[in-house]
Amino acid sequence: SYRVQLQASEKPMLQMPAQDLPGDAIYHVQSGRLVAAIGDCVVTLAAGDSMQASFSHAHALRAEGDEPAEFHLISTQALEGTR
């Protein structure tokens, strides 16, 4: 499990390329708003929201609004190749 805080930005601040690995990432937002692009799907998560996504799809995350987004990332695999 990782605790992550992203400052608001128009560009993705956390990018995870698609990987040929089994497993998932689970995102649980603690505060702020988190915009997640997974493949062609874009969702906005607020405090208390959660989402699960397969590692076989690229993820791009950014905070939206006036405050940082703080969230927990629960990964079933080591996060290699993240930026």
Give the pLDDT confidence of 36-61 residue by residue, as tens digits: 999 889 999 999 999 999 989 999 99
Helix, strand, coil in percent for the chain, rounding step 5: 0, 55, 45
Bigger pLDDT: 63 or 16? 63
pLDDT digits (tens, 9 = 90+) for 24-40: 999 999 999 999 999 88
Tell me what the mean pLDDT of segment 10-19 comes to: 90
One-letter identity of residue 46: A
Q: Which two tokens stand for residue 45?
A: 């998560």
Q: What is the DSSP letter of 39?
A: T
Q: What is the mean pLDDT of the chain?
A: 90
81, burial (CB in 10 Å: exposed 0-12, middle 13-18, buried 19+)? exposed
Determine the pLDDT at residue 83: 47
Alpha-carbon distance of 35 to 63, in angstroms, equals: 6
pLDDT level of residue 81 (50, 70, 90 thresholds): low
Report, as an integer, the average pLDDT of 13-20.
Answer: 89
CA dihedral angle for residue 62, residue 18, residue 42, residue 73, rounded to 10 degrees: -50
